[in-house]
Structure 1
Amino acid sequence: MIVSGREEMSATPSPEAIRQLRLRYQLAVDAAKTYYNNGFSVVIQDNYYGLELSHVVDLLQGYPVREIVLCPTVKVLKERELSRGKTGYANFSIESLYLEFMARTPRIGFWLDTSDLTPEESVNEILNYYAVNNNDPFDAGL
């Protein structure tokens, strides 16, 4: 979204790159809260690595939240990257990013390996997970 003055993320991001990332997260949270406060169910989707997942959940304190983490295998990530119209991993290797993500991201919420699932099957798995646990993900509102 930032064009002029954009700092790209890297394995060793600059303070400005981190500031811009946090700004993106804050804007998403602010929009989600506004929609929720106006009666909508909301889904926030982004890549929240490491403690950033907890940071975003903290920004949503006081709002009902269901964390869902989609985590396909490295092999599938590579295949999907090849079929994309843009490059999502320009400054990272998929392997190193995946290992860092798995090692540093808190295990909160529902984690789903979507490697062998279509988007529709992924949605069904999420809904089934919450049905089994007597917890409607859409009752959370966010």
Structure 2
Amino acid sequence: NIPLISSFLGNHLSLFCVLMTVTNILYTRYTMNQSPSGEGMAGMKTMPYIMAIMFFFMFNQNASGLSYYYFVSTLITILQYFAFRWTLNEDKLLRQLEENKKKPRKKSKWMQRLEEAQRIQQEQQRKAQKQGKR
């Protein structure tokens, strides 16, 4: 008998399910703080937290394989996120992106043919509209 928990979940509390829920909440909390938020997205900020808690109640009575999978998957995602943040120099990357924006783009042959086809189609539509007005 687990006090305060047995009335909701019975006499079973899966460790992997608890770990999965905690890692999902921590990951969501950290990534939500990193991303810019708009006023229209206020309701969407709580959705990942609600999903983590719902998964806890759904997966607690099931076999631990799925909870273990989600737990390990979230841990790997967190490790990748921190590895990328640690290895990437964001200032250098931003400068390189800004320099690339200034360079003129070369159009591929396919893009040139596509633009030519669009130009011909627009001319044909104009001619058809002129003939229709007469």
Taking structure 1 as the reference length, what is the TM-score of the superposition? 0.24
Q: Which structure has the larger Rg?
A: 2
Higher strand share: 1
TM-score, normalized by length of structure 2?
0.25
